[in-house]
Each structure stands twice: as C-alpha cells, then as structure tokens.
Amino acid sequence: MHTLHSADYLVFFIYFIIVSSYGYYIYHKKKTATTSSKDFFLAEGSLTWWAIGASLIASNISAEHFIGMSGSGFALGLAISTYEWMSAATLLIVAVFIIPVYLKNKIFTMPQFLSKRYNDKVSTIMAVFWLLVYVFVNLTSIIYLGALAISSISSIPFEWCIAGLSFFSVIVTLGGMKVIGYTDVIQVFVLIVGGLVTTYLALTLLSEHFGFGRDVLKGLFVLRKEAPTHFHMIFDSSHKYYKELPGISVLIGGMLINNLAYWGCNQYIVQRALGADLKTARKGILFAAFLKLLIPVIAVLPGIAMYVLHQNGLFHQEMMDSAGIIKPDHAYPTLMNLLPTGLKGVAFAALTAAIVASLAGKANSISTIFSLDIYRKFFHQEASEKKLVRVGRWAVVIAMLIAAIVTPALRSLDQAYQFIQEYVGFISPGVLAIFLLGFFWKRTTAAAALTGTLLTIPVSTILKFLPKWTNGAFPDYPFLDRMTIDFLFIVACMVVISLLRPEKKNEKDLIIVDTSLFRVTPGFVVGSVIICGILAALYTVFW
C-alpha cells in the first residue's frame, strides 16, 4: 500500500517539530546571525567538528542515494559503493592538502579563490555558471527525485511534495549556515537510523524467505551466497556494466577526478569547513569520511537484497513499470512500503531529512555566491553586513521558487539522475585542473585558466559523441575514462599556454601555499590509517 498511516505521520510530525525547534534555538543563540554576513554564510567559528562532519554528509546524501544507489545495487551490486568508499579516501586528501590552503588565504567562496589567484573574468564566469548549475540542475534534480520518492511511498500528490520540500528547505536555510550545520546533525542521525531500519527489513525478509527466521546475520549470509556476482568491486572489460564502472579507473582515474572536484572545489561542500579553524575543519572532514564508509550499508545492501528476493519469485509486479519493464529504482520504495506502521514513518522522515538537508546546503551556497561574488562586486560594493544577509535570504527564496517551478519539467526524462550526473560531470575535469594548478603551480596564468574553463565542456562533448559521429572509428570510452582524458588534455593545454605566455603577478596577490600547511596531528594520522585500512580490507575481500 502506497499510504502512510496516522502513526507514520505522527513520527514525521515529531521529526519536523524537533528539527524546526532546534533550528530556532540555534538561530537565536547568537544574535550576530542576523547581522554578520560571515556568520550567516559560514557560521564562522560556530560549528564544532561533529557538526561539520554531519553537515558534509547531510548535504551530500539525498534521494538519489536511497533511490538511485539502491537501484544500482539491484542492477550491478556492491561495486556502486565505490562512489562512497572512494569519497572517504578523497576526503582525507582534501583535509590534508586543500582545506589548509583555503583557510590560510581566508577564502570564503570558490569564485573568490579564482579572483584572487587569476582574475575577475575567470571568477565571474565560473560564479555565473555555478549559480545556473546549482539552480537549474542541482536544486531541481534534488526536488524532483525527492518528490518522486515521497509520492511513491505515500498518497501525497507529486506537486504537493515539491511545494512541501521547497518550503521546509527555505525555513532551514534562512537561519544561515549555523542553523543548517547543527540541524544537519539531527538530519544525519534520522537518515542513518531510518536507513538502517530499511536495511534491517530487507535482510530479515531474506532470512525468513530462506527458512532462517528473522536473523539479520543469516540474511547477510544468504545475500552473499545467492548473489555472488553482486559482490565484486572491480569489473573487467567483458562485464555488462563495465562502461558505468570501468575497472581500475574507479580507484585512480576518473573517479578520483570526480571526487576531488566535488569534495575539494565545490562551494556546496567546502563551505561547511571554511568558517572553522584548521584543526576543527580536519576533524570534521575525518568524521565525514568515517560516515561515508557506512552509506553503502543503508543505500546499497537493500538493493542487492531486493535483487535476490526478485530472483526468487517475489515482488515482480512492484519492480515493473506500467509497460512491464523491470525498474531497479523501484527497489527502495518497494521495501519502504513493506515497513510496518510507525517504522515506515521513520524511513519517511529519513528520506525527507536527506532531501531537505541537501536542498538547504545547496540553497545556502547559491545565496553565498550571489551575495558575495555577484551582488557585492557588481551592484553594491559598500553594502552593509545586514544588507548582504538580507540579499542572501532573498536569493534563497527566489532560487527555491525558480527550482520548484522548473522541477515538473524533469518528469519527461526517463533517467533524470543518470542524465544529470553525466552532463554535470562534463565540467569537473576543467574545474579540478584550474584549482589544482592554481594551488600548486605558481606559473599558471589567468589566460590558461580561462582556456581551461572554456575547453572542458567542448572536449567532454567531443569525447562522448565522436564514436557516433565516426561510426565507431573513434573508441567509445566509459564516462569515467573520458573524464581522465579531458582532465589530462586541459592540464596539458594550461601548462603550454602558461609557458608560452607567462604573466607577471604581484607576489602578494598569489595564493600562499607552503609545506607547513600540510602537517597533521597524530590523531588525524591514526584516523586516516584506520580508514585506509578498512578500505584496503573491503577492496581485498570484494575485489
């Protein structure tokens, strides 16, 4: 039954009240939140390490993880977990080598970094581009997939889901980064508990079906025994899904480029750590890396469990669309609809928490970039702190309104998430090349950065469509391999341009980078070794 009962709505209502009340309490705890732009956009000095870590994960996890990643677990198995587990390794790199550079140079936005390192032209082009992508791609996709998921497990109409998610997200976002950061702690707790409830149901269903009673450990044993092909992390070139996860490239190639661009050069993510001191920021990022290891348990295992149950004759109707075609993305909603009354409310709250946290984080980044990099720079250079905060709040409301209006148009897409991921990924190689060379090679010029900015989408487009244009004469590379080629090509172009046309730049205008920034505490080293050890064990066992 695609319905929520009174007990489910009561659980959800309690969650809503707790989040709203705690957010209101945090908002009024420091009155500077209403007047200080740095406090509003960055929660400067206010977020603890656990709030930073929780906020990083809450902003990252959304409906696409619960719905899309479970669907991928159903279709291709544990290998999809590489997106999560390699993110944990990437977060360690970001904590050691990238966050210290931002904090040392007092960088608050990604366009600000580009302006300081290169020039205003590069900065403004990227600021406008980021705003357009955040509003018309990221916000709309999160709202669309969230509304689709919620409407599939309840009787709430799709349009009302859009309105409700947008409204709830605006309420959270208007309190600023401090409110987002601390309410994200609750959101992460709820989404993990709710996710574990659904995983527990999936494993006990398996255990019962194979005659072991409601034994979770037996369910895990059955899962491994009945779906051995779903427990390989690295695919060879003959594998059916090699193009989605091309062998070793998921470790050292395009996946690393994708993750470094996302976790290290993305306002939406990096912003959580920019208001803290280095020690607190690093501890928060380390905490997020540990949480990342857990995500496949709540997002991938349910999908594999549904695959086994489906292979054994269960849920055929539920896993098909109206045309009778099996839809892997139906795996998670089908499981949620099997939850008993009350627990379904917990899972519903978890799904909502993931969506709202992601929307709030994205909206705050839109607000930050627009207010500090567009409004203050081009419209009102002498704007007061109060004025910037007010403009930031209006940016949140308008951005969310535009996204809510545009969202229904995505219903025409058959695979909205996959479509969006691939085409947004067209810019990641260029962004990463511009940032990495900007950090670590002083001779990189503004002309080279501008070239990298303008080349990344055309090169990605050519690599994608050239096989079709040449009737297969040009190799049809997997998406992640195309990202590697794009990245190396842009880096080469930027190096050549920088060497052929060097620019003189005042030393005081350069980004400060020295090896002392990369020293870490013994505690961070221990945590990093544990994470790397767990990853090594996982990839050894499930290679």
Residue 317 predicted with pLDDT over 70: no
Task: Answer positive or negative: Cα dihedral of 101, 106, 112, 116.
Answer: negative
Confidence of residue 43 (pLDDT cuts 50, 70, 90): low
pLDDT of residue 526: 94
Residue 83 predicted with pLDDT over 90: no
pLDDT of residue 325: 65
β-bridge partners, 320: 326
Residue 168 predicted with pLDDT over 90: no
Percent of the chain residues topping a pLDDT of 90: 11
Contact between residue 376 and residue 108 where contact means Cβ atoms under 8 Å apart: no
pLDDT of residue 531: 94
Q: Quote the tokens at residue 474.
A: 């040009």
Q: Which stretch, 152-161, 269-278, 402-411, 434-443, has highest mean pLDDT?
A: 434-443
Report which of residues 332 and 13 the model is more confident about: 13
Residues for the chain: how many in total? 543
Q: Quote the tokens at residue 229.
A: 């092909």
pLDDT of residue 534: 93
List, in order, residues 6 or more apart from 154 with CB less than 8 Å away: 2, 3, 4, 348
Residue 60 predicted with pLDDT over 90: no
Residue 32 predicted with pLDDT over 50: no
Mean pLDDT confidence for 503-517: 72
Residue 537 predicted with pLDDT over 50: yes
CA distance 211 to 209: 6
How crowded is residue 52: how many other Cβ atoms within 10 Å of its Cβ?
A: 27
Report which of residues 542 and 315 the model is more confident about: 542
What does the pLDDT look like over 362-402, one tens digit per residue?
A: 888 888 888 887 887 778 767 677 788 788 888 888 888 99
What does the pLDDT look like over 176-208, one tens digit per residue?
A: 666 666 777 777 777 788 788 888 888 888 888
Report which of residues 169 and 526 the model is more confident about: 526
Query: 540 by DSSP, 3-state: which?
Result: helix
Task: Judge residue 515's burial from the number of C-beta atoms within 10 Å of its C-beta, 0-12 exposed, 13-18 middle, 19 or more buried.
Answer: exposed
CA distance 493 to 449: 10
Q: Which stretch, 70-79, 91-100, 355-364, has highest mean pLDDT?
A: 91-100
Average pLDDT over the chain, rounded to an integer: 81
Task: Answer positive or negative: Cα dihedral of 112, 114, 120, 122.
Answer: negative
Mean pLDDT confidence for 40-55: 70
| Residue with token string 């990252």 | 60
pLDDT of residue 535: 92
Residue 33 predicted with pLDDT over 70: no
DSSP one-letter code for 137: I
Domains, in order of start, for the chain: 39-412+514-541 (1.20.1730.10), 425-512 (no CATH)
Query: What is the amino acid identity at position 166?
Result: S
CA distances from 206 to 5, 215, 221, 226, 328 (A): 25, 9, 10, 10, 18
Confidence of residue 323 (pLDDT cuts 50, 70, 90): low
Q: Which of 366, 378, 363 is nearest to 121 (CA)?
A: 378
Q: Which stretch, 12-16, 100-104, 389-393, has highest mean pLDDT?
A: 100-104
Contact between residue 365 and residue 134 where contact means Cβ atoms under 8 Å apart: yes
pLDDT of residue 499: 92
What does the pLDDT look like over 447-489, one tens digit per residue?
A: 999 999 888 888 888 888 888 888 877 888 888 888 899 999 9
Percent of the chain residues topping a pLDDT of 70: 87
Mean pLDDT confidence for 437-455: 89
What does the pLDDT look like over 234-275, one tens digit per residue?
A: 888 887 878 777 888 888 888 888 889 888 888 777 777 777
CA distance 346 to 10: 10
